[in-house]
Structure 1
Amino acid sequence: MKHRLQIPLRHFFATPPTPCPYLPGRLERKVVTLLAGDDPDGLHNALSQAGFRRSQDLAYRPACENCNACVPVRVPVDMFTLDHSHRRVWRRNSGVITRRLPAYATREHYQVFRRYVTARHEGGGMADMEFSDYRAMVEDSPVRSGLTEFREADGRLLGVCLIDEMHDGVSLVYSYFDPQFERRSPGSFIILWHILHAAEVGHPYVYLGYWIAESPKMAYKSRFQPLEALTPEGWRRIDENGSLCPVGS
């Protein structure tokens, strides 16, 4: 039986093809809809169950011709255990101070965001974002959103993660970090922190967005095992290579 979800009737629109930021030589298209109505949080949660992601007041999902490389993934929190590599990352970042903040854009956050985008995604769609664009990304949200801030003990800003609070967990919308800390794997640390925090507060899932097997930029997500991917039959376990695990494993 195919996986079906009850999503309120609404208008969906397709974007024109643009160069794919992850797979060279391919074009991407998206299906988008406005997160509006009496219950945007409920709509957001239903759409997330169907593989959509949020960008400001829009929910989107890839709808590329002849390509299904983008796979929605999430971590089932109660099954997650730290492996040796996770423990190394955690030790490297011992002493980091974490705060949960409202979704409010600051110049300090933006400066680290700019350094991150320049170092990791130069030439991408975010390369030319000015502060007003960054503010819109952070603050223009019709759903329950916030920031998780990570600082060194001396006050230096290590990284930031924009998150959405879901009915069944937390969605990591976008995270970034200061490239000077790259050797400490801050991106993995940010994910680990949210998984362990979700376990403390009883959230079932941490949504990590899309995983692309052919993209080195996305390879890190498969290291957070167990990992579930959205398939036509629903959410299924996948291994580090992206292969479906046997049902019940």
Structure 2
Amino acid sequence: MTDSKEIKLYATHPHPCSYFGDREAQTIFIDPDMSPSRLLYSELSRRGFRRSGNHIYRPDCKRCKECIASRVPVMTFEASRSQRRTINRNADLSTEVLSAPSAQAYPLYERYINGRHRDGDMFPPSREQFDSFLGESSATTAYVHFYAEAALVAVAVTDILDDGLSAIYTFYDPDLNKRSLGVYGILWQISHAKSLNLPYVYLGYWIRDCQKMAYKTDYRPIELLINSRWVRLN
């Protein structure tokens, strides 16, 4: 196994921040030609790294520390009343866990981006973009397909780590707002991690002052990586 001290790290040039229009961002990432073992990937996740496509990265902005890695300790997680209602609303869904996205996945992704993220970096969607962002996977990646009868309504992409699941991305039918499928995808992963006796679900970066990233503290208790220490908020 490669020791984390031997990893080559690279830094991007400063570029416009995706979350704050008045700031620049910078990212460090491991050598993209390297294929880390699950053990090493798990260690990097504990240090605040995330995967996007074949890149494992961490924000490294010089003047801003808003992006804070987050994870849910699943053994002590307690669903809120609203989250329990979401679980009940989706009790009719069936689930299939695959090692690659199905043929139905990309059309659903395309509808999702067009319906929910026309103002985001991923618009307009393309097959090439989908393949590089979500199709790039390893032996640790699972594609959780949710069906209402025979119709695919959501896909949660998750990486299986030594100490938990890393929730990479969830996309869903944008016409089914009442189901709260994005929330349900996270709740399903919390339940699944618990069934596998894995202690955490890593949710990516919590950003307090960014509405689309602040939701992660809705899952309690939650742990935030602050000054290289995981701090629990109940």
TM-score (structure 1 length as normaliser): 0.87
Residue aligned with 2:225, SS: strand
Residue 33 of structure 1 pairs with residue 30 of structure 2: yes
Pick from 11, 24, 41: which aligns with 2:21?
24
Partner AA of 1:190 in structure 2: G
Which stretch shifts more, 162-171 or 193-202? 193-202
Residue 197 of structure 1 pairs with residue 192 of structure 2: yes
Residue 163 of structure 1 pairs with residue 187 of structure 2: no
Residue 112 of structure 1 pairs with residue 111 of structure 2: no
Pick from 71, 78, 100: which aligns with 2:97?
100
The aligned counterpart of 2:82 is 85
Residue 222 of structure 1 pairs with residue 208 of structure 2: no
CA distance in 2, matches of 1:34, 1:146: 23
Pick from 155, 175, 199: which aligns with 1:180?
175
Q: Deviations over 1:194-237 (max 9, x none)?
A: 11111112111001011110111123211100000011251111
The answer (yes or no) to whether the contact 1:97–1:152 under 8 Å persists in 2 is yes
Partner AA of 1:30 in structure 2: T
1:43: how far off? 2.0
1:146: how far off? 1.5
Residue aligned with 2:209, SS: coil
Residue aligned with 1:24, SS: coil
CA distance in 2, matches of 1:156, 1:38: 35
1:47: how far off? 0.9
Residue aligned with 1:78, SS: coil
CA RMSD in angstroms, aligned pairs only: 1.8
The aligned counterpart of 1:234 is 229
5+ residue gaps, structure 2? none
The answer (yes or no) to whether the contact 1:44–1:143 under 8 Å persists in 2 is no
Pick from 70, 73, 83: which aligns with 1:73?
70
Partner AA of 1:236 in structure 2: V
1:25: how far off? 1.9
Over 3 Å counting, the alpha-carbon distance change for 1:39 and 1:210 in structure 2 is closer
- Corresponding pairs, count: 232
Over 3 Å counting, the alpha-carbon distance change for 1:50 and 1:93 in structure 2 is same
Over 3 Å counting, the alpha-carbon distance change for 1:95 and 1:81 in structure 2 is same
5+ residue gaps, structure 1? 1-5, 240-249
Residue aligned with 1:180, SS: coil
Residue 123 of structure 1 pairs with residue 113 of structure 2: no
Residue 141 of structure 1 pairs with residue 137 of structure 2: yes
Residue 57 of structure 1 pairs with residue 20 of structure 2: no
1:176: how far off? 0.9
The answer (yes or no) to whether the contact 2:118–2:124 under 8 Å persists in 1 is no
The aligned counterpart of 2:147 is 151
TM-score (structure 2 length as normaliser): 0.92
Partner AA of 2:69 in structure 1: P
